[in-house]
Amino acid sequence: MKVAYSWLKDFVDIKISPKELADKLTMAGLEVVSLEELGKPACPVGRDFVFEIEITSNRPDWLSILGVAREISAITGSRLKLAKSPTVKLKGLKPVEISVAESTDCPFYSAMIIRGVKVAPSPEWLKKRLEALGCRSVNNIVDITNYVLFESGQPLHAFDLDKLSQQAIHVRRARPNESITIIDGQQKILDNEILVIADKNRAVAIAGVMGGKDTEVTEATCNILLESAVFNPIVVRRVRQKLGLQSESAYRFERGVDLENAQSATFSALKLISVLAFGKPYAYKSLRSIRPAKSAINLEMDYISRVLGVSLSVLKVKQILSGLGFTVKARGKNILTVKIPGFRQDIKTQIDLVEEVARIYGYEKIPLSLPAVKPHKSIPSNREVVSGIKIILQGLGLQEAITYSLVDRLLLAKSGIKKDAQPVEILNPLSKEQEVLRFSLLPSLIRTLAYNLNQQQEYVNIFEVANVFSVKPDSAQHPTLSDEPMRASVQEELSLGIALCGARPFFIKQGLVKDEVTILHLKGILESLLNKLGVKSYDFSSPGENQVRIIIDQQEVGFIASLNEQILNSFDIKNKQVILGEINLAKLFPHINLAKKFTAIPKYPAITRDISFVVKEEVSIRELLTVIEGKGAPLLSLAKVVDYYQGKQIPSGSRGLTISCTYRASERTLTEEEIVPLHNAICALLEERFGIKLR
């Protein structure tokens, strides 16, 4: 929006340069994107400047000279000079025929008939003021409506009264396929979503957007009907976008205009029309469906201090808010009651008022400080831990599935999942598919996985976190103390289930590679999960082929397994390997440690040495690494397997391994004299303990 410096000075005494004013406006939130000096002044004497200001969508009150002048008054402390509202003797004026079909579309509409106008070019001062803001001069009547719009923010429209059928106005929705030729000569086809201003026969304007050519004011016009209205912002925005039109009126209506200003804008325009076009008021009528809401907010001084970090006096806050047009009264020692004016529709709560105080007081005056941090130990709830588990698994590429807790017995039998607990039977199941509560998540996940494979998905990786149910004997009842039969209780536990199948595609330099999932893939996923959860001393053991137990502190908390061919066939899964895993989260929770400790980046370089050897297959890699880490401490910072090989060069029943050992000290650079003896000692211990053969 463009604002002329000379026009602003009509409302406020500005004692600083235009450049300084531009800086102050920008710091207060009215970003001045350009400042231009006019070649010919728009005011009779002296130079003039035009500010181009970026107006945010929540501040329609800034879309006027008066609105910007009010901000300048508050920023500089100068008094705002408001002209006394022109009064018009409405008594004795005839009524105008007006009707509004829907009050929600148009809560206020007024029409004034002015007779005997002389349409002519505008005087030079009026032309130059409009041209300074980029508005082309048309004639004195149209220019006056534009002048009032720019000055007050209230759009007006003048119709040639004699071109209106029966000199009546009806605000209604357009009829299907109704058409109108607008002022710029375009013909628009309308529908019932578009609000129009109409006479008895046809639409004469698109409400809030643009007038029609048939009723525009020309040099032949003698009598006019002057419209001032308030339209629903949503309706105006949709119509403007639908028809691809833009106007200064629509720009303001779709952001919201001040209901309290609508009538006075008509009287301001009438005053100019009577002087510049010699028109006399003949008839007037206004329809209002709502009254402006007189809302008030209690503002606590302590709240301002807490938010801004500075202590302001009651007098200072009152001065700032009063300068912005609020009515402020003290209510007690530290509370102000602030009445919200109609042009500030964006003010809803205390924090909105605090923002106003901060803007005018000056953000640059608020000292920089770090927020106070009170360290405290926070123990996450199980629900928060579950949310964290889901986030970790999603980060590892898995997708969450949600399945029903009620399943049918056939599904449990088909899955081959066997547990000591019995499924919980439903006494009155709604269907055969919902006859028992599941004791494992895996049967449902297998069925979901099979469905996705049937939909031509080549790679399925899903997980679910949900409760499982089982029947357990009631331990509270001792069989020797009662003749009653043993009761059973339902046990509910939280479980994590994972199912993988298919080939995971990824790209390398040679092209697309597909990696078929195995038990090792799921083992890697669970290792990442347990590490991120801070679980220590976990292990994986293999009691049999295609099955792995998950052990934490010598307690089994879950397992990994691959489905055999018989089960795969029962789910119609062909030529695929399905890997499953399930963890009892109730057993996992006590071992989770989410506390994080900062470790600085090492200052000194590391030394890496590899150990390549052949070892019997029954020797656990975990046991190998534990021995290496124990012997290498404290200089050994990391030991990991980097190569695994079985082939012709390796004896049957053995495997070839390469373990990389990284040595580092936090306070110095290590030397060969320190590393060589330690590394040799580790190799010797492995030979002694596990009978390895170095390669």
The answer to whether residue 223 sits within a structural domain is yes
The answer to whether residue 542 sits within a structural domain is yes
**Are 125 and 228 contained in the same domain?**
yes
The answer to whether residue 413 sits within a structural domain is yes
Alpha carbon distance 176, 448 (integer Å): 51
Q: Report the pLDDT value the prediction gives residue 473, as an integer from 0 to 100.
A: 59
The answer to whether residue 110 sits within a structural domain is yes
**Average pLDDT of the chain?**
90
**Are 359 and 321 contained in the same domain?**
yes
The answer to whether residue 91 sits within a structural domain is no
**Are 283 and 144 contained in the same domain?**
yes
**Are 627 and 587 contained in the same domain?**
no
**Are 138 and 273 contained in the same domain?**
yes
Task: Say which DSSP state 94 is in.
Answer: B
**Are 501 and 522 contained in the same domain?**
yes
Amino acid making up residue 7:
W
The answer to whether residue 228 sits within a structural domain is yes
Secondary element (H or E) of residue 663? strand 654-663
Residue 263 belongs to domain with CATH number: 3.50.40.10
Q: Report the pLDDT value the prediction gives residue 484, as an integer from 0 to 100.
A: 47
pLDDT category at 474 given cuts 50, 70, 90 is low
Instruction: List the one residue out of 417, 430, 428, 547 whose CA is nearest residue 470.
Output: 417
**Are 36 and 155 contained in the same domain?**
no
**Are 544 and 655 contained in the same domain?**
no
Q: Report the pLDDT value the prediction gives residue 34, as an integer from 0 to 100.
A: 95
Alpha carbon distance 401, 403 (integer Å): 6
Q: Report the pLDDT value the prediction gives residue 46, as an integer from 0 to 100.
A: 62
Query: Could you tell me the residue range of the domain that residue 665 belongs to?
Result: 607-694
Six token digits for residue 594:
């989410």
Q: How far is CA 548 from CA 445, 485, 577, in A?
A: 19, 38, 16
- The CA-based dihedral angle spanning residues 96, 101, 105, 111, taken in that order and rounded to the nearest 10 degrees: 0
The residue among 226, 255, 288 that closes a domain is 288
Six token digits for residue 550:
């998950």
Cβ-count burial of 78 within 10 angstroms (0-12 exposed, 13-18 middle, 19+ buried)?
Answer: middle
- Do the bridges between strand 97-100 and strand 327-330 make them parallel or antiparallel, or are there none, so unpaired? unpaired
The residue among 338, 364, 390 that closes a domain is 364
Angle separating helix axes 301-308 and 350-361, nearest 10 degrees:
60
Six token digits for residue 665:
């000290």
Three state DSSP letters for 198-264: ECCCCEEEECCCEEEHHHCCCCCCCCEEEEEEECCHHHHHHHHHHHCCCCHHHHHHCCCCCHHHHHH
Q: Tens of pLDDT along 642-660?
A: 998 888 888 988 999 999 9
* Range 433-457 average pLDDT: 92
Does residue 44 surpass a pLDDT of 50? no
**Are 53 and 119 contained in the same domain?**
no
Instruction: State the total domains in the chain.
Output: 5
**pTM listed for this prediction:** 0.60
The residue among 531, 563, 591 that closes a domain is 591
The distance in angstroms from the start CA to the end CA of the chain is 80
**Tokens 């209106």 found at:** 164
**Are 249 and 327 contained in the same domain?**
no
Q: Report the pLDDT value the prediction gives residue 39, as an integer from 0 to 100.
A: 67
Residue 394 belongs to domain with CATH number: 3.30.930.10
**Are 429 and 542 contained in the same domain?**
yes
The answer to whether residue 628 sits within a structural domain is yes
Of the ranges 42-46, 100-104, 394-398, which one carries the lowest mean pLDDT score?
Answer: 42-46
Q: Tens of pLDDT along 596-638?
A: 888 888 999 999 999 999 999 889 888 899 999 999 999 999 9
The answer to whether residue 600 sits within a structural domain is no
Asked if 477 contacts 468 with a C-beta cutoff of 8 angstroms, the reply is no
**Are 277 and 303 contained in the same domain?**
no
The DSSP code sequence of 375-411 is: -------HHHHHHHHHHHHHHTT-EE----SEE-HHH
